[in-house]
Amino acid sequence: MKSYLLGQGVFHFIDGSVLCPPSYIFDSSAGSSSTISPSFLRWKQHDQLILSALLSSLSVDVLHLVVDCSTSHCVWCTLEKALASPSNSRIMQLHGSFQDLWQGDSSVSLYMQQAKSLFDELAAAGRPMSLEDFNLYVFRGLRGEFKDLVTSLITKAEPLSYADLHNHLFTHEFLHKNSFHSMAATPSLLSFSSLL
């Protein structure tokens, strides 16, 4: 996201180097501040567009952290404090989440997204996980139908990258679903042919 914001030339809103101008213009003849500043309106419009882009890029897991933020700078700083903090408790919580990682009824893609999110958070917190450990945690949490595939993948000399691991698991899931559907269709075809 940072590279996108830098490329768009709006990162100065995020890092706080462009401060919000005063919302009203002081009218010296009236002695009050009743006219809304055009520079404030422009700043607010830009900031709200950036805020919208930031919020739409967040997962549901972290969205609750920034619910009270009204500026892009506030969102950025809040996320930076919460997710990039290399505190011991945060590291332990992330490792605990890896140990609790379980596919359940989730698709391979959703399961791998959850695993990758934890992997990336550990790296952002300054404690990157090795690919060997990543593979192990992913293998541990898979459903039983992946047992044979895991047995063959675990014998590889090098750990699998995220993309390779995802591709193997996704292909297995795809083939398993097709196999299941064809097996489920066979008895009904046999039943139908016995009626003839």
Residue 33 vs residue 50, higher pLDDT: 50
3-state secondary structure of 75: helix
Specify the pLDDT at position 16.
Answer: 86
φ, ψ for residue 135, nearest 5 deg: -60, -45
Specify the pLDDT at position 119.
Answer: 95
Specify the pLDDT at position 171.
Answer: 95
Residue boundaries of the structural domains of the chain: 2-83, 88-184
* pLDDT digit string, tens, across residues 101-152: 999 999 999 999 999 999 998 888 788 999 999 999 999 999 999 999 999 9
Specify the pLDDT at position 178.
Answer: 63
- What does the alpha-carbon distance between residue 117 and residue 111 come to, in Å, rounded to a whole number? 10
Give the tokens for residue 100: 């609790």
Give the tokens for residue 125: 């917190």
C-alpha closest to that of 162 among 195, 115, 124, 97: 115
3-state secondary structure of 156: coil
- Residues of the chain with pLDDT > 90: what percent? 54
- What does the alpha-carbon distance between residue 174 and residue 168 come to, in Å, rounded to a whole number? 10
* pLDDT digit string, tens, across residues 68-77: 999 999 999 9
Specify the pLDDT at position 183.
Answer: 46
- What does the alpha-carbon distance between residue 23 and residue 10 come to, in Å, rounded to a whole number? 20
Q: Band of the pLDDT at 86, cuts 50, 70, 90?
A: low
Least confident stretch, 15-29, 44-58, 68-82, 138-152: 15-29
- Residue 115 · residue 101 · CB < 8 Å: yes
| Mean pLDDT value across residues 11-38 | 81
Q: Band of the pLDDT at 190, cuts 50, 70, 90?
A: very low
